[in-house]
């Protein structure tokens, strides 16, 4: 979001206050042009013969976004059969959808084969069962490179204690299964975590995967996952994507030469594509001063954006109603009956009752992790594209909160 003539504007001059007025708050807003910008930036950073971006759609699955990613030339990374079904209904071909579940039941794998998805396997028992049942269906293997990467333990998934992937140290077992079943391994995959800022950590994992890849003669692709860090705090250091791109591309081109075939290099960006494009607009319901602090209460909370409480994530907060006001310190909190601090000790231009505040970086894992806790409806979603706004999800109603409840009238 930019400040233009002392006012905040989104996309090509869209006024967030106009959106708050038109659609009500709380409201999730996504700038699709910004998503396109991130997509192209990622593409441009890597100089390899074949590059493919699989959008990790668990970050945000609105169907308009899925169709948009498809229009940009992207594919999908999915972690549940339902995400894959959403992908199909958005127009992706089955082979454009990678299915990377973790520890799901066998039936879900069978369904994925039936749908014709690309499949990624993350345990030895699953690999063995898959190879025996579907020896003719090529699959990818998720390797755990045992690298501690990512912003914190909750979002770091490639370390040695992690439940994800097959340990690279179990390579002999992988080999034995592949040999005994005659199955075809068409890809190797790793995803080490979210919020990776250090190109070295990424390269270390990539290097290990490429070394392993030399031992699999039928590969079509190598998939290095997602986790590219974006900046949350002003002054934060993001990942130096261009530097990573240059180093990794050189390494990958060398690998292809040694391997004797130009494989496709795949990434699975989630947060990188959509985080910074997303905003959560909320209205200030109350200002409360205590001897210790000034609280600004919003008409939202951890039910709509759980990241601050769950991951201690920092989301920058601006006052779009009073950008020129005198700055004061605030505890920005939600309306949930539980501690739900959205911003701790924030210096924000004076917040008054009724002011619309905006939480930045709310595109990834925002709406998707929203719940009905405290029996509050989930927000509406709006897409911004080329200066226009479009409603892409209705705000929930009382009706939605009652849906699926069965009143047995036993105690009337």
Ligand X SMILES: *Cc1c(COP(=O)(O)O)cnc(C)c1O
Does residue 232 interact with ligand X by CB under 6 A? no
As a dihedral over the C-alpha atoms of residue 244, residue 235, residue 311, residue 303, rounded to 10 degrees, the angle is: -120
Q: How far is the CB of 88 from ligand X (least distance, A)?
A: 19
Q: How far is the CB of 69 from ligand X (least distance, A)?
A: 13
Q: Tell me if 300 sits within 8 A of 307, measured CB to CB.
A: no
Helix, strand and coil content of the chain, in percent to the nearest 5, comes to: 35, 25, 40
Known catalytic membership, residue 57: no
Which of positions 349-388 make contact with ligand X (CB under 6 A)?
A: 364
Q: Which of 123, 194, 299, 321 binds ligand X (CB under 6 A)?
A: 194
Q: Which of 158, 225, 366, 377 binds ligand X (CB under 6 A)?
A: 225
Q: How far is the CB of 253 from ligand X (least distance, A)?
A: 23
Closer by beta carbon to ligand X, 23 or else 221 = 221
For the residues of 156-192, what is the DSSP string, one character each?
A: B-SSTT-SSSEEGGGHHHHHHHHHHHT--EEEEE---
Helix or strand run (H / E) with residue 225: none
d(CA 48, CA 125): 34
Instruction: Specify the length of the chain in residues.
Output: 412
- Position of tokens 């140290």? 169
Q: Which of 221, 272, 297, 314 binds ligand X (CB under 6 A)?
A: 272
- Binding span for ligand X by CB under 6 A among 266-274, 287-295, 317-325, 331-339: 266-274
Helix or strand run (H / E) with residue 126: helix 124-133
Catalytic annotation, pick one of 140, 184, 337, 358: 337
Nearest residue to 249 (alpha-carbon basis) of 72, 50, 77, 53: 50
Nearest residue to 57 (alpha-carbon basis) of 113, 114, 108, 98: 98
Closer by beta carbon to ligand X, 145 or else 334 = 145
Q: Which of 227, 278, 301, 308 binds ligand X (CB under 6 A)?
A: 227
- Binding span for ligand X by CB under 6 A among 170-178, 267-275, 337-345, 377-385: 267-275
Does residue 205 interact with ligand X by CB under 6 A? no
Q: Token pair of 272, please? A: 């990188």
| CA geometry: angle 122, 166, 159, nearest 5 deg | 110
Contact track, ligand X, 298-317, x by CB under 6 A: --------------------
Does residue 11 interact with ligand X by CB under 6 A? no
- Binding span for ligand X by CB under 6 A among 37-45, 84-92, 220-228, 320-328: 220-228
Q: Under rule CB under 6 A, how many of the chain's residues touch ligand X?
A: 18
Does residue 191 interact with ligand X by CB under 6 A? yes
Does residue 41 interact with ligand X by CB under 6 A? no
How far is C-alpha 140 from the chain's CA centre?
21
| CA geometry: angle 237, 200, 187, nearest 5 deg | 115
Closer by beta carbon to ligand X, 163 or else 261 = 163
Q: How far is the CB of 358 from ligand X (least distance, A)?
A: 22
- Binding span for ligand X by CB under 6 A among 54-62, 255-263, 327-335, 380-388: 54-62
Q: How far is the CB of 164 from ligand X (least distance, A)?
A: 8
- Binding span for ligand X by CB under 6 A among 24-32, 53-61, 206-214, 387-395: 53-61
Does residue 43 interact with ligand X by CB under 6 A? no
Burial (Cβ within 10 Å: 0-12, 13-18, ≥19) of residue 291: exposed
Does residue 79 interact with ligand X by CB under 6 A? yes
Q: Which of 34, 70, 271, 307 binds ligand X (CB under 6 A)?
A: 271
d(CA 168, CA 87): 30
Does residue 269 interact with ligand X by CB under 6 A? yes
Rounded to a whole number, what is the distance in angstroms from the first to the last CA of the chain?
53
Does residue 59 interact with ligand X by CB under 6 A? yes
- Coil, strand or helix at 88: helix
d(CA 119, CA 11): 37
Q: Which of 11, 100, 186, 331 binds ligand X (CB under 6 A)?
A: 100
Closer by beta carbon to ligand X, 79 or else 113 = 79
Distances (CA, A) of 148 to 15, 161, 175, 230: 42, 10, 25, 18
Q: Which of 7, 41, 58, 251 binds ligand X (CB under 6 A)?
A: 58
Sign of CA dihedral 351, 355, 361, 366: positive
Name the residues annotated as catalytic. 337
Residues in the site for ligand X, rule: CB under 6 A?
Answer: 56, 58-59, 77, 79, 100, 191, 194, 225-228, 268-272, 364
């Amino acid at each position: 979001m930019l400040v233009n003539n002392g006012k905040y504007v989104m996309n090509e001059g869209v006024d967030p206050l106009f959106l708050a007025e038109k659609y009500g708050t709380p409201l999730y807003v996504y700038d699709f042009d910004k998503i396109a910008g991130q997509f192209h930036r990622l593409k441009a950073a890597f100089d390899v013969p074949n590059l493919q971006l699989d959008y990790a759609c668990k970050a945000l699955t609105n169907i308009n976004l899925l169709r948009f990613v498809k229009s940009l030339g992207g594919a999908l990374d999915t972690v549940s059969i339902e995400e894959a079904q959403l992908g199909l209904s958005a127009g992706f071909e089955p082979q454009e959808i990678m299915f990377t579940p973790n520890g799901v039941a066998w039936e879900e794998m069978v369904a994925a084969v039936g749908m014709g998805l690309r499949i990624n396997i993350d345990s030895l028992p699953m690999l063995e069962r898959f190879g025996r049942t579907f020896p003719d269906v090529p699959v990818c293997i998720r390797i755990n490179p045992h690298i501690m990467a990512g912003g914190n333990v909750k979002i770091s998934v490639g370390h040695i204690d992690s439940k994800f992937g097959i340990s690279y140290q179990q390579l002999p077992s992988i080999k034995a299964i592949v040999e005994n079943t005659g199955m075809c391994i068409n890809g190797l995959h790793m995803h080490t975590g979210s919020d990776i800022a250090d190109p070295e950590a990424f390269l270390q994992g990539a290097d290990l995967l490429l070394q392993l890849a030399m031992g699999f003669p039928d590969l079509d692709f190598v998939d290095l996952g997602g986790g590219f860090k974006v900046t949350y705090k002003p002054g934060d250091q993001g990942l130096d994507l261009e530097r990573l791109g240059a180093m990794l591309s050189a390494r990958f081109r060398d690998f292809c030469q040694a391997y004797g075939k130009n494989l496709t290099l795949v990434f699975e960006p989630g947060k990188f594509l959509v985080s910074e494009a997303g905003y959560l607009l909320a209205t200030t319901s109350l200002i409360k001063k205590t001897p210790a602090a000034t609280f600004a209460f919003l008409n939202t909370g951890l039910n709509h954006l759980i990241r601050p409480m769950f991951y201690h994530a920092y989301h920058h907060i601006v006052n779009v109603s009073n950008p020129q006001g005198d700055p004061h310190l605030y505890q920005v909190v939600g309306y949930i009956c539980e501690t739900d601090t959205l911003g701790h000790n924030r210096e924000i231009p004076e917040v008054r009752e009724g002011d619309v505040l905006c939480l930045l970086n709310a595109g990834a894992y925002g709406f998707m992790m929203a719940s009905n806790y405290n029996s509050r409806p989930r927000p509406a979603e709006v897409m911004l594209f080329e200066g226009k706004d479009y409603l892409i999800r209705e705000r929930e109603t009382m009706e939605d909160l009652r849906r699926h409840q069965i009143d047995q009238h036993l105690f009337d």
